[in-house]
Amino acid sequence: MSRDVEKALADWLAGGGDRIGEIVIARVPEGWELRHAEDAGHADLALHAQPEAARHLANLDAAGNFRPLKTVPTLVRGWRLVLGDIAAVRRALDYFYPAMTGAWLSHTRGELVPVVLRETLGRQTGMYRVTQKLTDPQARELIDRVCAGCLKHRLWEIAAANPSSPAFPAGSLPLLCHEACNLLVAQAREVVKKAERAVT
Amino acid sequence: MLAKPDSALVIVGHGSTVNPDSSAPTFDHAEALRVRGVFGEVHCAFWKEEPSFRQVLHMVGRDDIYVVPNFISEGYFTTTVIPRELELDGALTRRGGRVIKYCEPTGNDPRMTDLLLRRAAEIAPGVDPAQTSLLIVGHGTGLNENSAVAAKREVERIAARGLYAEVLNAYMEEEPLIAKWDEYSTQPNVVVVPFFISDGLHSYEDIPVLLGIAGASPGAASAGGREVFQRNPYHLRGRTLFYASAIGTEPLFADVILEQVAAFDAVHAA
Ligand code: SF4
Q: What is the DSSP string of B105-166?
A: -GGGSTTHHHHHHHHHHHHSTT--GGGEEEEEEE--SSTTHHHHHHHHHHHHHHHHTT-SSE
- Does A102 contact B60 at a Cβ distance shorter than 8 Å? yes
The confidence score (pLDDT) of residue B223 equals 46
Buried b (16+ CB within 10 A) or exposed e, A24-61: bbeeeeeebbbbbeebeeeeeeeebeebbbbbebbbee
Q: Is B107 left (phi over 0), alpha (psi -120 to 50) or beta?
A: alpha
Mean pLDDT of B41-50: 97
Share of chain B above pLDDT 90, in %: 78
Spatial contact of B46 and A95, defined as CB atoms under 8 Å apart: no
Task: Please tell me the class of the B112-249 domain.
Answer: alpha beta
Examine residue B233 and say whether the peptide bond preceding it is cis (omega within 30 degrees of 0).
Answer: yes
What is the set of domains in chain A, with CATH numbers?
Answer: 5-108 (3.30.1360.190), 117-199 (3.30.70.2320)
The model's confidence at residue B219, banded by pLDDT at 50, 70 and 90, is very low
Buried b (16+ CB within 10 A) or exposed e, B237-256: eebbbbbbbbbbbbeebbbb
The confidence score (pLDDT) of residue A51 equals 97
DSSP per residue, A39-87? GTT----EEE-STTHHHHHHHB-TTS-B-SSTTSS----SEEEEESSHH
Question: Rounded to whole angstroms, how far apart are CA atoms B149 and B151?
Answer: 5
Question: Rounded to whole angstroms, how far apart are CA atoms B79 and B91?
Answer: 11
Q: Which residues of A touch B77 (CB under 8 A)?
A: none
Select from B20, B55, B56 the Cβ nearest to the Cβ of A59. Answer: B20
Chain A interface, best mutation among B6, B22, B48, B55, by max A CB count within 10 A = B55
In angstroms, how far is CA B109 from the centroid of its own chain?
A: 11
Question: Rounded to whole angstroms, how far apart are CA atoms B196 and B180?
Answer: 20
Q: Enumerate the domain spans of chain B.
A: 4-106+252-268, 112-249
Task: Tell me which of A153, A164, A178, A181 to substitute to probe ligand 1's pocket, judged by most ligand atoms within 8 Å of the beta carbon.
Answer: A181
Determine the distance in angstroms separating the CA of A66 from the nearest CA of chain B, rounded to an integer.
6
> Which residues pair with residue A172 across a beta bridge?
A19
- Does B31 contact A183 at a Cβ distance shorter than 8 Å? no
Report phi then psi at A9, rounded to 5.
-65, -45
Q: Which residues of A touch B20 (CB under 8 A)?
A: 59-60, 66
Task: Tell me which of A70, A97, A115, A146 to substitute to probe ligand 1's pocket, judged by most ligand atoms within 8 Å of the beta carbon.
Answer: A146
- Does A68 contact B16 at a Cβ distance shorter than 8 Å? yes
How many CB pairs below 8 A link A and B?
79
User: First vs last Cα of chain B: how many Å apart?
Assistant: 15
Residues of chain A under the 70 pLDDT cut: 1, 161-166
Question: Rounded to whole angstroms, how far apart are CA atoms B256 and B112?
Answer: 8
Report phi then psi at B166, rounded to 5.
-155, 150
Average confidence score pLDDT of chain B: 91
Q: Within 6 Å (CB) of ligand 1, which residues are found?
A: A 71, 146-147, 150, 152, 154, 177, 180-181, 183-184
Question: Rounded to whole angstroms, how far apart are CA atoms B86 and B187?
Answer: 47
Chain A interface residues (partner B, CB cutoff 8 A): 1-6, 52, 55, 59-60, 66, 68-71, 94, 98-99, 101-103, 105-106, 111-112, 115, 123, 125-127, 178-179, 181-183, 186
Spatial contact of B214 and B205, defined as CB atoms under 8 Å apart: yes
- The arrangement of secondary structure in B4-106+252-268, i.e. its CATH architecture, is 3-Layer(aba) Sandwich (3.40)
The angle that helices A100-108 and A5-14 make with each other, rounded to 10 degrees, is 80
Residues 131-150 of B with CB under 8 A from A: 143
Return the minimum-mean-pLDDT range out of B25-29, B100-104, B117-121, B142-146. B142-146
B59 and chain A in contact, CB less than 8 A: yes
Return the minimum-mean-pLDDT range out of A29-38, A76-85, B206-215, B236-245. B206-215
Q: Classify residue B194 by its DSSP letter.
A: E
Q: Which residues of B touch A125 (CB under 8 A)?
A: 80-81, 84
Q: Classify residue B81 by its DSSP letter.
A: I
Fold agreement (B4-106+252-268, B112-249): yes
The confidence score (pLDDT) of residue A165 equals 66
Question: Rounded to whole angstroms, how far apart are CA atoms A128 and B99?
Answer: 29
Sign of CA dihedral A74, A58, A112, A12: positive
Mean pLDDT of B112-123: 95
The confidence score (pLDDT) of residue B196 equals 92
- ipTM of model: 0.95
SS3 A174: coil
pLDDT surpassing 90 at residue B39: yes
- Does A183 contact B84 at a Cβ distance shorter than 8 Å? no
Per-residue pLDDT of B77-86, as tens digits, reads 999 999 999 9
Q: Which residues of B touch A182 (CB under 8 A)?
A: 17, 47-48, 52
SS3 B96: coil
Determine the distance in angstroms separating the CA of A7 from the nearest CA of chain B, rounded to an integer.
11
Cα angle for residues B27, B31, B33 (degrees, 5° grid): 120
Mean pLDDT of B180-205: 92
The model's confidence at residue B222, banded by pLDDT at 50, 70 and 90, is very low
> Which residues pair with residue B165 across a beta bridge?
none
Nearest residue to B223 (alpha-carbon basis) of B214, B212, B232: B214
Determine the distance in angstroms separating the CA of A16 from the nearest CA of chain B, rounded to an integer.
22
Sheet with strand B234-236: strands edge to edge: B166-171, B132-138, B189-194, B239-243, B234-236
